Amino acid sequence: MDYSIIFVCLMGMGTVFFGLICLIVLTTLMGRLCGRGRQAAPAAAVPAPVPAPQADQQELVAAVSAAIAEELGTDIAGIRILSMKKL
């Protein structure tokens, strides 16, 4: 059999698009099935009070504030750090 070049290209692209559509449908179905048991996390009404930083932690907050202010090109008084977590 002698197939034309256009027919072969169309069959190849059609196969790829059909496969992509199948992947989209399958991932959507799996997302709905797996997400069915999850519940929304309750939102905290009142945030916990922030403890006062210790002396050595105050130096760290000052250094981080200065670095952020320098990077943003603003005054250090315009930056307020609420909490810091060690990673």
Residues spanned by the domain of 1: 1-34
Place of tokens 């059999």: 1
Residue 41 included in any domain: no
Task: Retrieve residue 67's tokens.
Answer: 């670095």
Domains: count for the chain: 2
65 inside domain: yes
| Distance (Å, whole) CA 14 – CA 73 | 53
**Rounded distance, CA 20 to CA 16, Å?**
6
The tens-digit pLDDT sequence of the chain (87 residues) is 677 999 999 999 999 999 999 999 999 999 999 887 566 666 666 766 666 657 678 888 888 888 999 999 888 888 888 888 877
